[in-house]
Amino acid sequence: MDGQTRYRLDIAYDGTNFNGWATQPELRTVQGVLEDALILVLPRADGVDYFPRLTVAGRTDAGVHALGQVAHLDIPEAIVAKGFARTENSFAAELNRKLSKALSRDFDVAAHKIQDAPPGFDARFSALSRTYEYKISDAEAPYNPLSRLDHWRVESVLDLSILNQASEVLLGLRDFGAFCKPREGSTSIRNLQEFHWRRGADKTVIAHLKADAFCHSMVRNLVGALVEVAKGRLNLARLTELLDAAERSPEIKVAPAHGLTLLAVEYPADNELASRAEQTRGIREL
């Protein structure tokens, strides 16, 4: 009875009133709220000292939102064996029901789904890619106060053809050191697969970005830099120089956190989960 079962959780949150994903003492964080709710609803097993620890695909910063966040959780067999009073549901389904009830006071976070993780699944290292959206309300349309939770308000009109032209320059496998907050022992080489801009139905400017993974504050730096380009304060040649230098520069402004939403995390087919995890662990933890 000393094995563990791994579960996959699909999570959404409004980051406004959270100090980011990762647990921090005395601060309200998404991980903290979820883990506290889990401990409340999980069955207890005699002699098993267990605290639920979530491993997440995208460690979002303070103020960043998520609609398609993914995490995993290992639960000792002894606790799973205890089960819930309702036995007609699977353990995962019943845990989801109880967790949703416990979270219903916290309308800013929801766990949409809990399911048995396929063998080899690791929320962080099995992921093939992450997709983010960054939303801006510029001066093209009257300001909508209801959009202020997840839109950056910019007082000028942004030209989407300029934004899209500059975004193309940044695509591909590169050292994004110019756009990353450095982190001890981690590389800033990433593969930026998609980066384009469109206007939504309400004329909102929406940036769509997809990469194998993003380093710390990378999306916000990419968006911030491109808005500088659109405003005519940074030209394409200089943007390319900064990219090639792969070092932080004050010319690159970071866009505010609240415009950013993690939309989705993509995983390979079940039979490739373990090898994908092996591979990314090797690259990113060098």
Q: What positions carry a catalytic annotation?
A: 61
Among 74, 108, 116, 266, indicate the residue that binds its own copies (CB under 8 A).
Answer: 108
Tell me: does residue 105 bind its own copies (CB under 8 A): no
Phi, psi for 220 (deg, rounded to 5): -65, -35
Q: For its own copies, which is the closer residue by CB, 100 or 187?
A: 100
Tokens representing 281 are 């662990």
**Considering the rule CB under 8 A, would residue 190 count as an interface residue with its own copies?**
no
Sole window of 7-15, 52-60, 80-88, 90-98 interacting with its own copies (rule: CB under 8 A): 7-15
The stretch near its own copies (CB under 8 A) out of 12-20, 81-89, 121-129, 239-247 is 12-20
Among 144, 249, 271, 279, binds its own copies (CB under 8 A): 144
**Which residue, 125 or 152, has its beta carbon nearer to its own copies?**
152
Q: Which CB atom, from 33 or from 170, has the smaller least distance to its own copies?
A: 33
Of 46, 47, 105, 107, the residue at the interface with its own copies (CB under 8 A) is: 107
Within residues 46-85, the interface with its own copies by CB under 8 A covers 65, 67
Kindly indicate which of the ranges 44-52, 87-95, 142-150, 225-233 contains the residues binding its own copies, using the contact rule CB under 8 A. Answer: 142-150
When the beta carbons of 142 and 250 are compared against its own copies, the nearer one is 142
Whether the CB-CB separation of 141 and 202 falls below 8 Å is answered with: yes
Q: Is 14 in the site for its own copies (CB under 8 A)?
A: yes
> Which residues does 97 contact at the CB level (< 8 Å), separation at least 6?
89
Q: How far is the CB of 267 from its own copies (least distance, A)?
A: 18
Beta strands in the chain, from DSSP E residues, in sequence order: 4-13, 54-56, 65-76, 109-116, 129-137, 152-153, 172-175, 189-199, 205-211, 260-266
- C-alpha distances out from residue 177 to 180, 242, 244, 245, 282, Å: 5, 9, 9, 8, 19
Residues 112-131 binding its own copies (CB under 8 A) are 112-113
Cross-strand partners of 134: 207, 260
Q: Provide φ and ψ at 97, rounded to 5°.
A: -60, -45
C-alpha torsion angle, residues 60, 64, 70, 76 (rounded to 10): 60
What would the two tokens of residue 51 be? 């605290």
Is residue 197 a contact partner of residue 160, using CB atoms and an 8 Å limit? yes
Which residues of the chain form contacts with its own copies (CB under 8 A)? 10, 12-14, 65, 67, 107-110, 112-113, 142-146, 148-150, 153, 201, 261
